[in-house]
Every structure is written in structure tokens, then in C-alpha cells.
Structure 1
């Protein structure tokens, strides 16, 4: 039965390295809002490994159905039912969260949606709460690898609103929302985990 579940090889590859970082960040009990749950592989893996957290999966209304079967099969008490979340539509279905996690979303969303995502996170995180954003990023307009440059071009060829984002531009959005970039962890396959923290 599980062989028919939506599956992402990239999620399978990166869930271990991401979890190693989240263990050191999401240390206090609380709810994690996941934006862009996708296939649900991250949600299942992280909720199972971090039982002190309530994991709230969400995805865009067009994609929210993808993870439902996997999440229901997981039978994890701290894995909450899937919610539909369009970052550009307020109010969000989740008003408060201790932590926020999102993987491989910023380069798929339109820039206006990335702005709305940071604004929404700024309103729902408490002081000291962290937003972990995983994916490929540019530094001062430069790609960190040739493979990322090729990936960026393939994104733009697919849809003009997509593309790998500049860390500096994301940091500006964060600051406008009351967040600050605290850490930038290098990850496998030319990805990074950015850790934004809400100020007091």
C-alpha cells in the first residue's frame, strides 16, 4: 500500500541532515508549522523523531491532498491533520506556532508569496521562535554551484515567477517581519538551512 504514496527522492535524501539541525533548534516543546508539506515525508520523519513537538503540516490548497494518506498511515500522536494554507490569503488557518519549517518553497513561490510568507510568520511566531527555511540560495546574486545555476534556469523556463532567491533579499523580508537571520547551515547537494529568529 505504501508503495503508492507520493514520493520525493530529494526528501528522502535530505531528511536526515535536516533533522540533525532541527534537533538543535526546535528544542522546546511546542507546535511546528510546516509550510509546503508536499509528500509528507519530512513531516512523518520529523514528528516521529521529535516527540516533544506537535507537527502541523500545511500546503497550498492545490497540493494539500498529496500528503494526507502518508500522514494518516503514520499513526503518530503528535502529527496533526493536514491544513490548507495559501500564504497569500489571510488570515492563516494557524494563528500561532512556536516554530516554523519550510523546505524547497521559496524558489517555487512567486516573490510576492515569499513576502507574504515572511509577513505571516512574523505575526505567528513568539519572541525567540525560529523559522527554518531549507533549499538552494544565492549569495549576493551568485550561485553557490553550477548545478544550482542550471536548476534556476530550469525553474524559470518552467514558470517565470520561480527562481533561486538571494539570501540578502530574504533577510530584508525577515527584518521587515521582525525576524533576523541567525544561522546559515551548509547542507548536502548545495542546499542551505537558514535560521531566522523572532526578536523580543
Structure 2
């Protein structure tokens, strides 16, 4: 994620669900390209730190929301790429991706003749309120899109394991970059 410019400076966060149900998540304030040994911590499904002296990412609640909603989710990624950030600022309440070969990277889409609608949620420093909006977006779309965008902020994706989450993120970032490039073309 770092080598592709998706987590600049201290932006973004990474988490995995551990076999016992706890969540391992990157701590706040660390560059994701140089995570030190103590740069990851564990929290429970409600985001409470196992070690009270450590501070999890401010967005831990959004990761926990994914794990609570999708019991099969084993990894969640949050990045701040230029395409995700810019498109989220330009888009309405959703970004529709249609006709891309890489849509096949998402479950249930065996062909490019498909579309996904990524919700675009207003950024909010109140993570509980933001998670409530995420839940509303999930409830409104029974297809459960493979991720979502936070306006001016970035993207969230998840999958059963880390390789799957990275695959989804890479596919999504490619399509978002294509959408951004398409907007630059004269009409």
C-alpha cells in the first residue's frame, strides 16, 4: 500500500481478525510503510484496547463495524489514494463502476458486464456517527458493495483474508484511477 502511494505519511490503517475474535490493527501515528514492532495492537470487537496504555487508530470503530457486520471478514484495509480522495470529493452519494474487467475481482461478479455502487459517506470525526451512516448504506443496498468511500478522505475494503483484501483494494484503486482519468478527457 505504501509503495503505491495509498497510505501517505501516517494515513490509512490495516487490520486482521485473529482466530480468537480479537482485532489486530495498526496504531495511530505510524507511517504504514515503516510499521515498527509495537505499531500494531489488539482490540476487542467494540474497539477497546487490550493494553490500555496503547492508542489504536482513530478509525478503529470503522474496522470493528466491518467485522461485526460481516462475520466472514478476516482483513480490512483503509487507504488515502489520490483517486479515492479526489473522486470522493467530486461524486454524489455514490460512485458507480461498470464495464471494467476487474469487477471480476469481487464476489458474485463473474463478468465485466456488471456494476458496483460504492457509497460515498460524508467525513465525520465522530466515528460512531460515521459508522451509523456506513450501516445505513449497507442496509440500503442488499448487494453489500465491496467497500465504501469517505468524502475527501479515502476508501475502505475488506475480505476473508489479507490477500483477498489486497486484491480488492488493488482492483478498486485501478478502477477509481480509470474513473479519474476519464473525467480529465474532453467530452
Per chain length, whose mean CA-contact separation is higher, i.e. which structure has more relative contact order (CA < 8 Å, sep 6+)?
A: 2
Q: Say yes or no: TM over 0.5.
A: no
Normalising by the smaller structure, the TM-score range is 0.3 to 0.5
Q: Normalising to structure 2: TM-score of the pair?
A: 0.33
Q: Normalising to structure 1: TM-score of the pair?
A: 0.31
